[in-house]
Structure 1
Amino acid sequence: MSDVEIHVKAACEKRLATLEEFEKRRYMVVGDLAIKTVEQAIEAAAALEGKHFHLQPRSAHSNRLRWIKEKFPSLSKDVDELWGAYGALGYASVNGERARKVIDAMERVLGEIERETRIRFK
C-alpha cells in the first residue's frame, strides 16, 4: 500500500467515525476526530508531492497547516474553524450546533482536496 493509500484509508475511517460520533451525540470527540480526518487528508494530498509531514512529529502540525493554507488558500477559514472548535468541543462540550459546523468544515476541506487532487475520501 502506498503512502497516499495509507493516508486515504485513515482519513476515510476517521471521517466515518466522526459522523458516527455526531449521530450518537458524542460531541466532545467530534472536533478531535474531524481534525484527525483532515490531517490524514492533508498528508494524502501532500504525499502526491513527496511531502511527509508525519515523519517530523514536532513540526508536523504547523507544517500541515502552512501547506494547506498555501496550497488551498480558500480553505483557510474552514481549517481555522476546525482547530478553533477543538477546544470548545473537547473541553467545554458545547451543543451539537458547533459540532455540526465542524463537520461541515471537515466536509468542505475534504471536498476541495478531492476536486484538486482526484483523491476520494467519500
Structure 2
Amino acid sequence: MDDSAFHIRLAREKREGTLREFSARAYSNTADLALKAVEQAIEAVAAKHDIHFHTRPRTAHAERRNWVKENLPQVFDHLRILWDAYGRLGYGGTDGTRAKKALDAMEDALNEIGKSAGIKFI
C-alpha cells in the first residue's frame, strides 16, 4: 500500500514544528522534530516502493539508515548530523548553534529527498 501522502503530510508538519520550536529556543525539541521530519520524508519515498520501516519499530532506524545509504546517499551525511544533534540536545538541550545545524541539515535533507523523488516538502 502506498501511504506516501500520509508521510509527506507528517514530514511537512514536523518541519513546521521544527521551525516553531527553534524560534521559541526550544532546542531539544528542534533536534527531535528535525530528525522526525527527515525520517517521515524518507518513509514517504520508501512507501512509493512498498517499503515501510515504521511497521518494524525495533529495527526501523537501522533499516532506514541502510536504505538511505543505498538509495539516497546524498542524504546520509545530513542524517548523521541530525542523529548527533538529537543525541546531544536530548540531554540539556541548550545549544542553539547545534540546533541551528540540525535545522539546516533538515532543510538540506528535505531538499535533496524532494529533488530526487519529485516531492515538495518545503
8 A Cα contact 1:35 1:83, kept in partner: yes
8 A Cα contact 1:88 1:94, kept in partner: no
The match for 1:99 is: 99
Q: CA deviation at 1:75?
A: 1.9
Q: TM-score under structure 2 normalisation?
A: 0.94
Q: CA deviation at 1:3?
A: 0.4
Deviations 1:32-80 (A, max 9, x none): 1111111100100101111111111111111111111211212221111
The aligned runs of 1:6-85 (5 Å cut-off) are 6-85=6-85
Q: CA deviation at 1:93?
A: 1.4
Residues in 1 aligned to 2:99 and 2:89: alpha-carbon distance in whole angstroms: 7
RMSD of aligned residue pairs (Cα, Å):
1.0
The alignment of Structure 1 onto Structure 2 pairs a total of residues equal to: 121
Residues in 2 aligned to 1:39 and 1:75: alpha-carbon distance in whole angstroms: 11
Q: Which runs of 4+ in 1 moved over 6 A?
A: none
Percent identity reads 48
Deviations 1:72-105 (A, max 9, x none): 2122211110001112111131321110000110
Q: TM-score under structure 1 normalisation?
A: 0.94
Residues in 1 aligned to 2:6 and 2:28: alpha-carbon distance in whole angstroms: 26
Gaps of 5+ in 2: none
